[in-house]
Amino acid sequence: MKIGVTGMVLALAASQFVSAQQNDSRSASLTIYNNDLAVVRTNVDLDLKKGINEITTTKVTRQLEPDSVVLRDASGQRSVQVTEQNYDAALASQPWMLEKYEGQTIDFQVVHGDRVETVQGKILRSGNDGTDPLIEVNGKMQFTLPGQPLFPASTDGLLLKPTLRWQIYSENAEHFPAELGYLTHGFNWNATYNIVSSEGGASTSGDETMDLVGWVTIGNHSGTDFDDAKVKLMAGDVNRVSNGAAAGIGGAMMMKAMAAPAPVTQQAFDDFHLYDLNRQVSLRSGETKQIEFLRTAKIPVTRRYVYDGGNSVPHLGVVRGVAGVQMAEGAANKTVRIEQSFVNTKQNHLGMPLPAGTMRFYRRDKDGQMEFVGESQIQHTPEGEKVELSTGTAFDVTGDRKRTDFKTSHENQVTDESFEITVKNAKDNPVNVDVVEHLNRSMNWDVVEKSSAFEKRDSSTVVFPVSVPAHGQQKVTYTVHYNW
């Protein structure tokens, strides 16, 4: 049975909690999801008297979801009875202060070269609603601030950090640590993989080995710093109900490569995978941090070339007479794709479920220098699944495709169509190329003539594997018979 995200908060807060100091985010624990979401768990020290208590904490983010908050006794022996909760993230800012002093006169600091002057201005309109501010200076109105506003230090209601306020009813005077868990936006993570080919380059067969280093990149744009936090990463698509929550705010990027003192471990959790960094991590607001989570060598990789030169013709079904229409053939696609594949197994020195991300491929040139040769995206890949990636198009391997014959009989409801495909290889070594053809004119077809054997991939796709000699070419010809 699947559980909802709110239920997940309860489960995680109850089972994966670590203690924290009051009024900061030290030693919090976070579970970060791929889609701008995190579960935060921390401690709040409750010192309760008998009756109604006013309790506040600033150990929250600017993008907290207030209705996701869970506050409970860490030992599970007491019931925390919250009668009212208020969340305030309206932090003090210049627009907020201008609005607070609308109708009042304050000082403005004006800089004239090396000279600093203070002038007084009355705030007629703050401009906090998107309009220009309107200030009265010396009996005249202006639509810009005369200088840097100086606000009284005794301003009431200043809020420097987002704050949760509770009214908690207690039958007795008690003092105990409570667990605080909540959902927040402003966090994300993704995986990147750097793959480097082994020395010697690709073999004639296309089989080689490669080394892989995997990184997780974690972004914190929640508006709150987390020092020495225990971090876990959830891979998978968790369903969320859209509630118009604000998107994360931007910030400066800071890249730090961290060597993990303990390996990253993973476990199945519900229908997802949970990756534990097994270390404490400091995540500053606005910071992007990278942590190595996977390193392995000598992965068997198959490299192949694919030529799919046919123009895509929509599936026409079996409507009477349609398959016999001689549709115009557009210019053939001449590019040959480079594809690489490997299987995620322990025998191939992998076997960990791979979270979705970008895989980048590098290869060493004749001087031994590493050069970038392409990248592609992978989806969440369980153990045992095959990873197939397209990393670019070949420079020295090209294709050409032309239709050589077309005959149709409306009386007999049949069509015969012939093609010639030529693959050229300007490299110094032979290459293997898969020639892909799409037989889309009708559901009923049969290849009646062919220059070489083919593999049927699905109901309308065939592949002719060919070997093309160095500085040579190879042709594929075939005739397909349709009936409807």
Q: How many CB atoms lie within 10 A of CB 162?
A: 22
Query: Mean pLDDT across the chain, nearest whole number?
Result: 80
Between residues 245 and 440, which one has the greater pLDDT? Answer: 440
pLDDT in tens, 123-135: 898 887 778 888 8
Claim to verify: residue 322 and residue 372 sit in the same structural domain? yes
Residue 291 contacts residue 277 (beta carbons within 8 Å): yes
Which among 254, 284, 314 is the end of a domain? 284
Claim to verify: residue 315 and residue 425 sit in the same structural domain? yes
Claim to verify: residue 227 and residue 81 sit in the same structural domain? yes
Range of the domain at 33: 1-86+161-185+222-284
Which among 284, 313, 331 is the end of a domain? 284
Highest mean pLDDT among 13-22, 309-318, 426-435: 426-435
The amino acid that residue 320 corresponds to is R
**pLDDT value for 418:** 95
Q: 460-479 burial by CB neighbour count: b if 16+ within 10 A, else e?
A: bebbbebebeeeeebebebb
Claim to verify: residue 72 and residue 25 sit in the same structural domain? yes
Claim to verify: residue 111 and residue 75 sit in the same structural domain? no
Claim to verify: residue 358 and residue 241 sit in the same structural domain? no
In the predicted model, is pLDDT for residue 241 greater than 70? no
In the predicted model, is pLDDT for residue 413 greater than 70? yes
In the predicted model, is pLDDT for residue 322 greater than 60? no
* CA pair distance 29, 479, nearest whole angstrom: 64
pLDDT in tens, 254-309: 223 333 345 666 666 655 678 788 788 888 888 899 988 889 999 999 888 999 98
What's the mean pLDDT in 158-175? 84
Q: Is residue 378 part of a domain?
A: yes
Token readout for 103 is: 């109708």
What's the mean pLDDT in 401-409? 92
Q: Is residue 175 part of a domain?
A: yes
pLDDT in tens, 177-210: 899 999 999 999 989 999 998 654 454 455 788 8
Q: Is residue 369 part of a domain?
A: yes
Claim to verify: residue 15 and residue 106 sit in the same structural domain? no
Q: Is residue 226 part of a domain?
A: yes
Claim to verify: residue 345 and residue 420 sit in the same structural domain? yes
What's the mean pLDDT in 158-180? 85
Token readout for 392 is: 């670019």
Q: Is residue 18 part of a domain?
A: yes
Start-to-end C-alpha separation, the chain: 48
Q: Is residue 217 part of a domain?
A: no
Claim to verify: residue 404 and residue 344 sit in the same structural domain? yes
Q: How many domains does the chain have?
A: 3
- DSSP assignment, residue 9? H
In the predicted model, is pLDDT for residue 369 greater than 90? no
**pLDDT value for 100:** 82
Token readout for 115 is: 């000279």
Which among 252, 284, 316 is the end of a domain? 284
In the predicted model, is pLDDT for residue 336 greater than 90? yes
Q: Is residue 156 part of a domain?
A: no
Q: Hey, is 315 helix, strand or coil?
A: coil
Residue 477: band (very low, low, confident or very high) from pLDDT cuts 50, 70, 90: very high
Claim to verify: residue 279 and residue 353 sit in the same structural domain? no
Q: Is residue 290 part of a domain?
A: no
Claim to verify: residue 308 and residue 378 sit in the same structural domain? yes
The percent of residues in the chain predicted with pLDDT above 90, rounded, is 33
Classify residue 321 as left (phi > 0), alpha (psi -120 to 50) or beta: left
**pLDDT value for 331:** 56
Q: Which residue has the tokens 């090209």?
A: 398
The answer to whether the pTM exceeds 0.75 is no
Claim to verify: residue 168 and residue 60 sit in the same structural domain? yes
Residue 236: band (very low, low, confident or very high) from pLDDT cuts 50, 70, 90: low
Edge to edge, what strands does the sheet with 148-150 contain? 140-142, 134-137, 115-125, 105-112, 148-150
- Beta strand 29-32 with 140-142 is unpaired
